[in-house]
Amino acid sequence: MSLTLRAMLLVLFVSVCSQAQTRTLALYAGSARGLDTESAAAMRTELQRLLAPAGIELSWKDVGDRRTGEDFELLAVASFEGSCSPSGPTSMPVNVKLADTSITDGHILPFFRVDCTRVVQLLGSQPDSSIVGRALGRVIAHEIYHIVGQTAEHHDTGVAKAVFSARDLRNPRFEFDPWSLARMGATSVAGIPRGSEAAGR
């Protein structure tokens, strides 16, 4: 069977599975300094677009609004460091981490941190608010991939790859590859270890 045919079948399998079982992920997010309304809307739209093929529907929550009795299939907690304002400084060293997810004893925990300043700097001089929001959505989707998939591994292409370029964040389209989507569909509860293949992130 050709590699192209296998890839097409895997995409079809992921699509069918995502339609058959949609899971809700509660994303508890702290405040993001300098994030304007347009950026926030673009971030949420892009994140939902990227996670939908994995059968994940987002429920955005304020980190201070956690209530007893709330029950979600998947859970993640986000914190933002630095400034998400598009008017921030633009110079930065290459190959810096834009975000990271907590790992303890080889297990992926449902907590991640986004470095807004570095994301904005990577985008270059004075990016539009919509581009900042879209870039943040892609960075967040990458961390959610680690949490939902319970893996520290990366893929060669797409949103699950190890390092993002400015082009990855700016391009109108940037997706998860089929293998990464399948990986996210294989875990039912975030934060509960499925195995110990995680090596660190």
**Sequence-ordered alpha helix ranges (H) in 21-114:** 37-51
Mind giving me the DSSP string for 85-106? -TTS-----SS--SEEEEEETT
Q: Strands 23-29 and 107-115: what pairing?
A: unpaired
pLDDT for res 95: 58
Residue 8, Cβ neighbours under 10 Å: how many? 12
pLDDT for res 8: 43
Residue 103 banded pLDDT, cuts 50, 70, 90: very high
Give the CATH class of 3-185. Answer: alpha beta
What is the C-alpha separation between 201 and 196, in angstroms, rounded? 13
Residue 114's DSSP bridge partners are 80, 99
Structure tokens at 159: 């949103």
pTM: 0.79
pLDDT for res 86: 85
What is the C-alpha separation between 12 and 118, in angstroms, rounded? 36
Q: What is the CA radius of gyration of the chain?
A: 16
pLDDT tens digits, one per residue of 30-39: 999 999 999 9
What is the C-alpha separation between 182 and 17, in angstroms, rounded? 9
Structure tokens at 48: 């939902």
Residue 149 banded pLDDT, cuts 50, 70, 90: very high
